[in-house]
Structure 1
Amino acid sequence: MQDDEAAALYRLMTWLSPSFPVGAFSYSSGIEWAMEAGDIVDANSLRDWLVSMLADGPGFCDGVFLAHTHRTASSLDAAGLRDIAELAAAFVPSRERYLETSAQGRAFIEIARAAWNCDGLDQLISHCDGAVVYPVAVGLVSAAHAIALASTMHAFLHALASNWISAGARLVPLGQTDSQRVLAQLEPIVVATGKRALAASLDDIGSATFRADLASMRHETQYTRLFRS
């Protein structure tokens, strides 16, 4: 492995680790409500819920936004970057999901600036001219550091799946072994979703996870909550 490849892998492993302080542990993306409603009751139902979220919902959509942000930032297209950032923020289906993804995006940008700054990063951030949601933040910073898009994509989707499983493990609850089984079973879905997102245009963006969208809306009025979304 060349030095630049090793450095890129080191950064991706750091930025998309559960320990990277973007507050991901505070959010469940509606999984908390789905558990209370009886949609998620065990490892199998959690897996099925996450397959839909990855392949037909926010996983795929966020992947497309990440890919187009990375390519647009790499080509230094200021107007295009602003348009993608605006579209990605507008596409979020509920208030709580918007708070979740914008807070994580803001934290990711702030930490990248403080600890992992590089030439051109501040300029790229300024082009967004508004809220920077999480997939846009990851695409923008990885492009500024010249980290390969395909590697960034798969690391990002793995992090999404891991965070969702972590929420499910605390809510169902699941043991560590069952959590790892779910993550292993999601591997082909993560790989396939990443490939689709890399090949997709912005016109291909669409979601069909209506129950998950409703969950993220209804969580806001849930009586007892452990998570912020």
Structure 2
Amino acid sequence: MLDTRALLRLMAWLSPAFPIGGFAWSGGLERAVADGLVRKAPDLQAWLATLVRHGSLRNDAVLFAEAWRQAGDEGALKELAALGLALSGSSERFAETLSLGKAFVTAASAWPHPVLARLPEDLPFPVSVGAVAAGHGVPLSQALAAYLHAAFSQVVSAGIRLSVAGQAEGVAILAALEPLIEDVARAAGRSTLDDLGGAAIQAEIASLRHETQHSRLFRS
């Protein structure tokens, strides 16, 4: 069970106010909007569902779960971090997950714990959060569900700023996707690194195309 202190820490780490700069990234959504792949709120919901079923967010969930399990093993965390960074399909995805991962560890040092010393200097975002959550005794199922919900919230926020959806529609998207978050978190909790992989080709292409986009709001 998630005790009160662990809950408070999880809420702080995954809050939009946590100083990791998540607001600056869209994960390729900006290019998808420019290319007409995402036009309205239902498209944004479908985009998120695809990412978490078949794309980068699914891999994030697998990496998160493995980092949670290996939080006490410095060597395993180093190898996992290298694998997670190597899975980045574009230079911007690499920069995004690396920037967020390093910033998260820096900010999380406000809660001192030996797990921080076991983490490599360069690591992807899901590995940093998964390991730190395990170190502080946050159960995997709750930590992973909260991580995915925060990732969805960030993409929805980007979609609102890109005028794909209004605020009420954004909240409705998050509500509608709750069962999917629960299902993916449960499956990822039983996953191994052999489950890594993806088929969200359009999302990967959008991320690559964003690198040459002339006018943009986001860094990815």
Classify the TM-score, shorter chain: over 0.9
Question: Which secondary structure state, in structure 2, belongs to the residue aligned with residue 92 of structure 1?
Answer: coil
Matched residue, 1:21: 19
Q: Distance in 1 between matches of 2:117 and 2:176?
A: 40
Q: Distance in 1 between matches of 2:142 and 2:185?
A: 10
Identity value in percent: 40
Match of 1:111 among 91, 107, 114: 107
**Any stretches of 5+ residues in structure 2 without a counterpart?**
none
Root-mean-square deviation over aligned CA pairs: 1.3
Q: Distance in 1 between matches of 2:179 and 2:53?
A: 11
How far residue 77 of structure 1 moved from its aligned partner, in angstroms, is 2.1
Greater fraction of residues in helix? 1
Matched residue, 2:194: 203
How far residue 190 of structure 1 moved from its aligned partner, in angstroms, is 1.0
How far residue 173 of structure 1 moved from its aligned partner, in angstroms, is 3.7
Residue by residue over 1:119-164, the C-alpha shift from the partner in whole angstroms, topping out at 9 and shown as x without a partner, is: x133312xx3x51110011011112212111111000000000000
TM-score normalized with structure 2 length:
0.96
Q: Is the 8 A contact 1:124 1:140 kept in 2?
A: no
How many residues are matched?
220
Residue range with higher mean Cα deviation, 84-93 or 27-36: 84-93
Residue by residue over 1:3-59, the C-alpha shift from the partner in whole angstroms, topping out at 9 and shown as x without a partner, is: x70000000011001111111110000000000100111001111111101111111
Q: Is the 8 A contact 2:105 2:116 kept in 1?
A: no
Q: Distance in 2 between matches of 1:131 and 1:216?
A: 21
Residues 61, 100 of structure 1: alpha-carbon distance in 2 compared, 3 angstrom cutoff:
same
**Any stretches of 5+ residues in structure 1 without a counterpart?**
none
Question: Which secondary structure state, in structure 2, belongs to the residue aligned with residue 221 of structure 1?
Answer: coil
Matched residue, 2:134: 143
Matched residue, 2:165: 174
Q: Report whether the alignment pairs 1:83 with 2:74.
A: no
Q: Distance in 2 between matches of 1:41 and 1:172?
A: 9
TM-score normalized with structure 1 length:
0.93
How far residue 172 of structure 1 moved from its aligned partner, in angstroms, is 2.6
Matched residue, 1:51: 49
